[in-house]
Structure 1
Amino acid sequence: MDKEVTKLKAGLVMPIASIDNCGPDHWIDVKSIIVEALTDIEGYEFESKLVSESDSSGLIHKRIVQGLYNSDIIICDVSCKNPNVMFELGMRLAFDKPTVIIKDDKTNYSFDTGGIEHLEYPRDLRFSKIVDFKASLLRKVIATYEDAKNNPGHSPFLKSFGEFKVVKLDETEVTPMDLVLDRLSELQNDVNKIKISVPRKILKPNHEKLVEDLLLKYLDVTPAGEVNSKDAFTFVQNHLEEKSIGIPNSILRNGIIEILNKLGYFH
């Protein structure tokens, strides 16, 4: 008879972008090490992924909070003290759920979490040290999960400061149609953000240089406290008309605002 397998969701909280001379490739390697440490363990089957990862679309902040709350265990890498990571760690500790903290050997302990055991690995990811780290991480993850499951008083952080009512996320049953509408609303928000983030082609290169030169003339004759985009637009537009150069008003106005911003004027 096959032994029963415990399936667990292991949420990963860690840097993914460049920080402290550690690039994205470094963090991809660290993530692979963590995932490998939790692979092929007798009696356990881990689904390991970043808390921001999800099979469905939606607001990333919502996915992160749900991942932090719903994961059976969180592995948090506080190396380089990434602000987002530290914030997400704080949320998980507020939920008072099983958490394992790791860091590299170049990162100092933080005052607030220094009382929690940290597993350490070499920043240069030396093979021999990583082998030992992976074994220690596996033991720590299983021990932490089992203690949380079997010990009603398990508390990774809050118990050190007294008795607290642990934060819980409300769960509301909805109809399939409500769920679809909610997802469509989230999708629309994502699309709107994409539209906003898409760079707009404001001025043609030859027009941009001309407009910038005219703006510099406008700034030369205008006291700093009186500079504004409306007067700048009128000044530039009049000079362009004298040169018989036509630029659509909306494009010219946006171009002027962008150039003024580049020059340090925000109006």
Structure 2
Amino acid sequence: MPDAKANAGSKKKSCFVVCPIGDEGSTTRRHADWLFHEIIEHVLEAHFTNQFELIRADKIDQPGMIDAQIISHLLDDDLVIADMTELNPNVFYEIGIRHMKELPIVHIVKKGGIIPFDVKLFRAIPYDYADPTELRAARGDLQRALTAVLQPDYKPDNPVIRARGVVKLAESAAPETAVIQQQLSEISRRLSAIENDDVLSIARYGQTRADIELEKFLSKRPPGGTALIVETMDYITEAQLSSLNSYLRDVWRDASENVAIYTFGNLILIKFNDFISDTRRNSMVSAVKSHPHVKNIKIVPAQNA
């Protein structure tokens, strides 16, 4: 680990944080502030004292055009930490600029978040503020990543650097090597298309990975009887989710023994294979809605399999 005292008197390195920021008081802003202070700032202050000046777009005090200032930080700062959570277009635009510059960047993403195919092969630090264990793990991972970046022999790696290497190889490749390269490029293109089908759905319709997986499941196994989709609160832990699943099984088995429960991220599908009266169903829905970890319930009409 770098010696904090030895670096106390030297010029600070600049660390620019790229993330969705949102309006004051919004969920996105609270998420951005939490990430900034509880993970990034915490790690820098605890393990890299006086080594970094931490900057985020909304915290730039200098007069001038904010977009030009952001690009300057992306081009010139010693380090960029980019949060890919929410698939924010501005974030990925800024990541692309940093990749083109071939300077150090650390990718992070909320646990369970979607990572587009083009950057999926490159390490992203997962974090989760709902679980103290995950929080400590994220801080440790970020500390190790920053330690690696500060090494004199550190060499950045990203899709742009790889692509430039491929271009240089293609320019000097023998014919048989060029054929292999073309085949690998086609495989990569097809994988990217498959992956981006889901990513485009998320960006265009506001869907999550859980939405997409649940839709695929229902298209293959449509409910023959009553079905319900229970949406949990956004920041539910694994232990809370397990407890909620047990609660749902207890509640719905009072209505029917022939019930199946499936979990897709923060969505829980409850399928019945026999008839349940509307009165009984509504009573059970009310009971589930009162649970503190339940956000919403949607009734799925029965379909002919």
Letter in 2 for 1:131: R
**What is the aligned counterpart of 2:13 among 8, 30, 39?**
8
* 1:102 equivalent in structure 2: 108
For the residue of structure 2 that corresponds to 1:129, the secondary structure is: helix
**Which whole-Å deviations, capped at 9, do the CAs of 1:52-74 have from their partners, x for residues lacking one?**
64331100111000111121110
Q: Does 1:161 align with 2:163?
A: yes
AA matched with 2:157: S
Q: In 2, distance between residues paired with 1:75 and 1:57?
A: 23
Q: Secondary structure at the match of 1:16?
A: coil
1:144 aligns with 2:149: yes
Query: Aligned in 2, Cα 1:143/1:55: closer, same or farther, shift over 3 Å?
Result: same
| Matched residue, 2:86 | 80
Q: 1:26 maps to what in 2?
A: 31
Residues 120-157 of structure 1 deviation map (CA, whole Å, 9 limit, x = unaligned) = 012x43222111211110110220232xx425x54333
Pick closer, same or farther for the CA change 1:80–1:53 going to 2, 3 Å: same
SS in 2 for 1:66: helix
Counterpart residue identity of residue 150, structure 1: D
Amino acid at match of 1:135: G
Aligned counterpart, 1:247: none
Q: Is the 8 A contact 2:105 2:156 kept in 1?
A: no
1:89 to 92, 95, 98: 95
Count of residues paired in the alignment = 158
Q: Give the match's secondary structure for 1:162.
A: helix
Structure 2, gaps ≥5 residues long: 169-305
**Identity of aligned pairs, percent?**
22
Q: How far off is 1:162 after superposition?
A: 3.0
Instruction: Report what 1:229 is aligned to.
Output: none
Matched residue SS, 2:146: helix
Q: Contact 1:38–1:46 at 8 Å: present in 2 too?
A: yes
Larger proportion of strand: 2
TM-score, with length taken from structure 2: 0.47
> Distance between the aligned counterparts of 2:70 and 2:7, measured in 1?
30
Q: Which residue of 2 aligns with 1:219?
A: none
Cα distance in structure 1, aligned partners of 2:58 and 2:48:
28
Query: Partners in 1 of 2:156 and 2:114 — Cα distance?
Result: 26
Between stretches 128-137 and 96-105, larger displacement belongs to 128-137
Q: What amino acid maps onto 1:14 in structure 2?
A: C
Q: Under a length normalisation based on structure 1, what TM-score does the superposition of the two structures give?
A: 0.53
Return the offset for 1:42.
5.3
Cα offsets for 1:141-176 (capped at 9, x unmatched): 220232xx425x5433333223489xxxxxxxxxxx
Gaps of 5+ in 1: 166-267
**2: distance between equivalents of 1:121 and 1:145?**
22
Change (3 A) 1:125 1:11: farther
Summarize the Cα distance change of 1:101–1:64 in structure 2 as closer, same or farther, 3 Å threshold. Answer: same
* Root mean square deviation of aligned Cα: 2.5
1:118-137 superposed matches below 5 A: 118-122=124-128, 124-137=129-142
CA shift in 2, pair 1:45/1:71, >3 Å: same
